[in-house]
Amino acid sequence: MLSERKVSSLQDILPALEVAAQRRRPLLIVAEDVDGEALAACILNKLRGQVSVCAVKAPGFGDNRKAMLQDMAILTGGTVFSDEVDLKLEKCTPEDLGSANSATITKDDTIFLNGAGVKDAIVQRADQLRSLISTTTSDYEKEKLSERLAKLSGGVAVIKVGGASEVEVGEKKDRFVDALNATRAAVEEGIVPGGGTALLKASKTLGIIKPENFDQSLGIDIIKKAILAPCKIIVDNAGAEGAVVVGRLLESYTPADAEGSKADGSFNYGYDASNGTYTDMIKSGIIDPLKVVRTALVDASGVASLLTTTECMIVDAPKKDAPPMPGMGGMGGMGGMM
């Protein structure tokens, strides 16, 4: 049962409870709020085992809440009880109630699976949301509309993370969140070879740039050395010779120049530190989202620029090792006994 209003009276909920009892189906109430006699009736029916009933608050606020309730109605084949269409809860009929194969409810989320809505109506609603996304100029509105479209079109995945302890679950959850953010970034701007390969190959392109003065030349050299570091450190941490690997990868690739000559060598050719082999990084699945690499480079350059113009920095004082304890002097010899 979907309602834009607060459900408080017993008369508001009684028809829906009777329908659920007659059909021996669980009843899920989605409303602005459920309190008073209505909430007491839900709890009483649940405790007595007469009707399995659950009440949840409608998501969102204001017009966004109304729109999401309409999405739910289309998805489940139900009707939203609201003042705009003059539908009263006490006149609820079986046709007004939506249906789904299952509903998973947690403290924070409610998930409907396989709603009984008409497929054509769902497709039409999804097309309407896509049209709104293409015309709106607000990033906030685009985000909310995209979320509604994903939920309506079935583009929702639920990942249940488990573990032997709370710490393990939290660590695994953080990994999934990182993977999700990386996937979104990859979809947004594409991917590049991972393992520091993209930055390493980009350093060769810097050689094509002709500096206008000494300062620019110095800046290019600094960036060259900096973007070679990720690949070298990864290889060093894997127990191999980072300098050797970096040198070989640089020799194997020549970028296209401004005169139009084609690049020599594969941009995707890199070093798989886990296996200790040279390979095509894209085919091996060793990739980085372009947005992540680009953002890291831009942020690092911003911090470096700030450090070069600041008058002082606050850093941790280096710890000085305490001097070793002096050795104990030897014991004097004992005099001869008379």
Is residue 200, in this structure, part of any structural domain at all? yes
Question: From start to end of 27-165, where are the E strands?
Answer: 27-31, 33-34, 53-57, 80-81, 100-105, 110-115
Locate 245 and state its tokens: 């690997």
Q: Which of 68, 70, 88 is closest to 79 using CA atoms? A: 70
What's the domain range around 300? 192-309
Choosing from 117, 146, 174, the residue where a domain stops is: 117
Is residue 60, in this structure, part of any structural domain at all? yes
Q: Does residue 84 sit in the same domain as residue 136?
A: no
Rounded mean pLDDT of 284-290? Answer: 91
Q: Does residue 54 sit in the same domain as residue 124?
A: no
Res 324 pLDDT > 70:
no
Res 252 pLDDT > 70:
yes
When divided into structural domains, the chain yields a total of: 3
Q: Does residue 104 sit in the same domain as residue 134?
A: no
Q: Does residue 11 sit in the same domain as residue 101?
A: yes
Are 189 and 289 in contact by the 8 Å Cβ rule? The answer is yes
Model confidence band, residue 168 (pLDDT cutoffs 50, 70, 90):
very high
Pairing mode, if any, of strands 80-81 and 33-34? unpaired
Percent of the chain with pLDDT strictly greater than 90 = 15
Instruction: State the amino acid at position 79 in one-letter form.
Output: T
**Going by C-beta distance under 8 Å and a sequence separation of 6 or more, which residues neighbour residue 207?**
224
pLDDT of residue 91: 80
Q: What are phi and psi of 44, to 5 degrees?
A: -65, -45
pLDDT of residue 83: 74
Is residue 315, in this structure, part of any structural domain at all? no
pLDDT of residue 163: 86
Between CA 202 and CA 1 the distance in angstroms is: 58
| Entry field: residues in the chain | 338
Between CA 69 and CA 2 the distance in angstroms is: 7
Q: What are phi and psi of 63, to 5 degrees?
A: -65, -30
Instruction: State the amino acid at position 175 in one-letter form.
Output: R
Q: Does residue 109 sit in the same domain as residue 137?
A: no
Rounded mean pLDDT of 316-327? Answer: 71
Identify the residue with better confidence: 258 or 150.
Answer: 150
Model confidence band, residue 338 (pLDDT cutoffs 50, 70, 90):
very low
Provide the CATH number for the domain around residue 74: 3.50.7.10
Is residue 177, in this structure, part of any structural domain at all? no
Is residue 319, in this structure, part of any structural domain at all? no
Is residue 318, in this structure, part of any structural domain at all? no
- Residues 87-127 have pLDDT tens digits of 777 788 888 888 888 888 888 788 887 788 888 888 888 88
Is residue 314, in this structure, part of any structural domain at all? no
Q: Where are the alpha helices (DSSP H) in the chain?
A: 10-23, 36-48, 62-76, 119-135, 139-152, 166-189, 197-206, 214-237, 242-251, 290-309
Choosing from 99, 129, 155, the residue where a domain stops is: 155
pLDDT of residue 244: 92
